[in-house]
Each structure stands twice: as C-alpha cells, then as structure tokens.
Amino acid sequence: MEIRALFFYFLIFIIPYFLTKQLLRRYKNLPPSPSYCLPVIGHLHLFKKPIHQAFADLADRYGPVLFMRFGSRPVVLVSSPSDAEECFTRNDLVFANRPRLLAGKHLGYNYTTLMWASYGDHWRNLRRIASAELLSSHRLHMFYSIRVEEVRSLVGRLVRASESKEFGTGDMKMMFFELTLNVMMRMITGKRYYGEKSEEFEEAVRFKEIIRETFQLSGATDMADFVPVLKWLGVSRTEKKLVILQEKRDRFMQNLIEEHRTTRRLSMSEATSKTMIDVLLSRQEAETEYYTDGVIRGMIQVMLTAGTDTSASTMEWALSLLLNNPEALAKVQAEIDARTGQNRLIEESDLAKLPYLQAVVTETLRMYPPAPLIPPHESSEECTVGGFRVPRGTMLLVNIWAIQNDPKLWAEPRKFMPERFQGLGMEGNLGLVMSPFGAGRRGCPGEALAVRMVGLALGTLIQCFDWKRVGEEMVDMSGGTGLIMPKAQPLIAKYRPRKTVSRLISQCCD
C-alpha cells in the first residue's frame, strides 16, 4: 500500500515537472512577442492595412525580431538588415521551404510550382530551368527586340492619342500593364494582346481579369490558413474563390500549350525554341514523364504573374515620383539628351551610362518595393536568428519595406532622393539593406529582366515626351492593398511629344 501511495505521489510531482520543463523549453529564448495574444486567433487581431506598415510599427515597439502566433501557426517577423541577412545566409537552407498556405495548394498546383514547391530536387530543377534557360542573359538578349518594339509601340499609341491637342492625357497604370503584358506574352507565347496589330483582344480581357484576381487572392489573408478548424467547417470563402480562379487559369494556360503544340506539329521541322513555351515543350519531348503539361502550366503562370503587374507597378510609382519632383524629371531628361543625343532613341545598352536614371529606378524600388513583405518562408529545423531561438515549422516574414524605409538606416527615408544611389547602378550590391527582389536561394530569378524593362520604358518615355500632372495637386502616393504594393489611385498624367526628338518619335508611329 505504501509503495502504491509513493508511486502515486511520484506521478503527481514528476508529470507536472516534465510538462513544465517541456513548456519552458518550448518558450525558452523565443523572440519578444507583442501583447494581447488572444485564444484561437493569436495575434491576427493586430492585422491592419497596409499590413507592412502595421508590422513596421510593431517592430518599432518590440524590436527587429518578433515572435507571433497567427492562429495556431508560429511566425517570426524580421525587420532589420542584419537579422534578414542571417536568415538568408547562415540559415538560408533552413528557411528554403514555403509554408503550406491555401494559395500554394490551389494556385501552386498543390505546392509544386517554382513559387510554392518545397526545397528539394524538384524545386532545384525548376529553378535551374528558370534561371539558366528561360531568364538567362542569353535568353534575355534573344528577346531584346521584343522589349524595344513594345516600348516604341507604346510611344506610338501615346502620340496618336495626343494628336490635335496641346497635351494628351493617359491612364499610365493601364498603359504600363499593357506594355509589360505584351512583353511577357510575346516572350512566353509569341502572342501580342494590345496595340494596333493585336487580334487577341477578347483573350487579353480574360487574362487581365485572371491576373487581377490572382494578385487579389494571393495577397488576401484567409483565416483558414491559421485556424484549421475553419477549413474543416468549410467556411473559407477565399478557398472557394481560389478553386474557381485556378480552373480559369488552368484552361487559359492549357489552351496556350495546345496552340503551340499544334503549331510545332504542323511546322514539320525541329523546334526553334523561339518562345519560352517552345523551350518547355522541347524539354517535354526529351523527358515526357517529368515535364508534364501541369509542370509547364505552372511555370508559365509563375512567369506571367511575376513579370507583369510587378514591373508595371514600379513604372507607375517611378513616374508618379518624378511628376511630384519635376526637378528630378528635368535632370533625367537632360542626362538622356546629353548621353544619347537627338539622333536615336534610348537602348538598353545606354542604361549603364545613365546613372541618374538608374538612381531614380533604384530609389523607387527602395520606397515602393514590388513585394513589401518577402514571400513567406518556413524553417525546416530549429535555428537561431538575432540570438533568439526559432522553432522548426515557424513561418518567416521579412518586412523589406520596413528595412528600406527605416530612418535609422536612411536619411529622410520617405523623401524621394535619387542622389543617394548615384554611382551605384540599378543592380548595385547593398546587401539586405536594399533587397526589393528578395534574397537567398529563393530570391526572384526575374530581377535582371525587371530592371531592364523598367529602365528602358521609363527612359524612352522621358526622352520622347514632356510630362506634367493633370492639375496643381500633387499625385496621390497612397498605396493600395494586395500581394504587391499598387498605387491606391491609378496614375493619370499629361504628356506632350517633344519637338527636339519629333523625327525619332515619328519612327514609332510608322
């Protein structure tokens, strides 16, 4: 009886001891956490729009490395360059995975696309295809004529729309989107959606809507991602929308593949690999089991969504900043005139000789990075960041907007000052202090294309036109919501063809 009683008391004391020890270890040396972690939802009630600014405010209050709970999901928020660099250098392999979110399940083909796949052989193969074949320097050089033709086609459309007027008025958000979509579609499929010679208007309307929904839903916060019981109860409205959207995306991409497959079959000759789809179909013919239509569709979707709205948004922000800072606009125009003369239009090879234009683009990317929060990563094992313990399975969010707009790192961060980057170049290395395209092995493979596209388009428009605001009021610089950081109000601007380059402009109207 005494032995039984001793054993009973032993259990009473030893079980709580081990449970307490386990709990203490679980929470030992975690990063600081904001107050008011509520049952079930955790810190989700702290979500305010714009989310990157809300997170920056939390970092100012609690520190550059924060531990939070989004429902049942542990999250670490990083808002300093040194800690971000630690994540993507020493811990780069640990944070090479993506969290399992609904967007990745439905838009990422069950987490198998370049964007959403877990780190491993499949992801490495997709990354190699994207970096070495689809977006290599050689491939970008092959597609150079497409970028030039589309930029000059935009110039021609603007000129024609302003005929018989002192100043034309343009919806630059729409113009920039049509420009980048034409470039990406021609690179990927050989099709052209906008312009005088386009015959794909209805298809363009469908795809524009798909792109809009993709960014809207990818950036939406779905509670079911963080509170699993909502998924089991079937109350996730976002998931239903994601399923419908993916069905539309799938049909659209498969039609593009079938069109190319038919063309290749009828050509009766070996593929010339002129478009990205041709490259992928050639791969499919060599490795049928791996390069399924699903893999090809996923790759096309990533390229199209990553290469359209992001570059278009950067162009819109850049021109908006220049319109609000006319002295900087005049300085860019004078630099282009001095370096290229009045006998030819600007080319991509000129960009390296236009340091102020490069500085304008870099300053725009600093103030308005395409993705204010780097797409989420997840730790595959326990590690340390900033001296704090990060448990396995923790979602990592890096607030690149907070880093690039931190007054401790940048003098007057919300003031447009291209001069701070003069002499550095658009692809200069500032480490994680300035990293608008992400970092580490999962950094954006399309950075070189985006930088070329934005520089060429912005430089050509400034060379060919005089620009001004539609009224005395400053351009509204407030940001919208979504996966990227769009302007809340589309940019409407006035422009006038420059007489000094009228002969060059006329070439774009032929």
475 phi/psi in degrees, rounded to 5: -65, 130
Q: Does position 269 have pLDDT exceeding 60, yes or no?
A: no
- pLDDT at residue 249 greater than cutoff 70: yes
383 annotated ligand-binding residue: no
Architecture of domain 94-371+405-508: Orthogonal Bundle (1.10)
Pairwise CA distance, residues 503 & 321, whole Å? 28
pLDDT, average across residues 34-42 = 92
pLDDT confidence of 19, banded at 50, 70, 90?
very low
Task: Give the residue-averaged pLDDT of 344-372.
Answer: 96
Helical spans, DSSP H, in 28-143? 51-62, 81-88, 102-106, 121-128, 137-142
The predicted-structure confidence for 84-112, as pLDDT tens digits, reads as follows 999 999 999 999 999 999 999 999 999 99
Q: Looking at 187-345, which runs of residues are DSSP E strands?
A: none
Return the residue matching tokens 């916060």: 221
> Residue 134: CB partners within 8 Å, gap ≥ 6?
276, 279, 299, 303
Residue 485: per-residue pLDDT: 83
Distance CA 48, CA 61 (A): 16
Question: Residue range 178-193: average pLDDT?
Answer: 92
- Tokens of residue 135, six digits: 């977006």
Domain ranges in the chain? Answer: 1-30, 94-371+405-508
Measuring CA to CA, which residue among 182, 177, 174 is closest to residue 148?
182
Residue 502: what pLDDT?
79
| Residue 273 DSSP class | -
pLDDT in tens, 390-421: 999 999 999 999 999 999 999 999 999 999 99
User: H/E element holding 374?
Assistant: strand 373-378
pTM attached to this predicted model: 0.90
| Mean pLDDT for all residues in the chain | 88
Amino acid residing at 16: P
pLDDT tens digit string along 291-318?
A: 999 999 999 999 988 888 899 999 999 9
Q: What is the pLDDT of residue 345?
A: 94
Residue 13 confidence class, pLDDT cut points 50, 70, 90: very low
Q: Where are the beta strands (DSSP E) in 337-426?
A: 373-378, 383-385, 388-390, 395-399
* 243 phi/psi in degrees, rounded to 5: -60, -45
Two structure tokens written together for 287: 């490795």
In whole angstroms, what is the distance from residue 291 CA to residue 293 CA? 7
Dihedral, CA atoms, 159, 165, 171, 175, nearest 10 degrees? -10
Handedness of CA 394, 398, 402, 403 (dihedral sign): positive
Radius of gyration of the chain, Cα coordinates, nearest whole angstrom: 26
Least confident piece of the model among 77-81, 226-230, 280-284, 489-493: 226-230
pLDDT band at 147 (very low <50, low <70, confident <90, very high): very high
Q: What is the mean pLDDT of residues 376-393?
A: 98
Beta-carbon contacts of residue 246 (< 8 Å; ≥ 6 apart): 106, 107
**Rounded CA gap, 8 and 229, in Å?**
37
Instruction: Kindly give the residue spans of alpha helices, DSSP state H, lying in 391-435.
Output: 400-404
Of all helices (H) and strands (E), which one includes residue 66? strand 65-70
pLDDT at 127: 96
Whether 418 and 360 have beta carbons less than 8 Å apart is answered as yes
Residues in the chain: 510
What are phi and psi for residue 283, nearest 5 degrees? -65, -40
pLDDT confidence of residue 74: 98
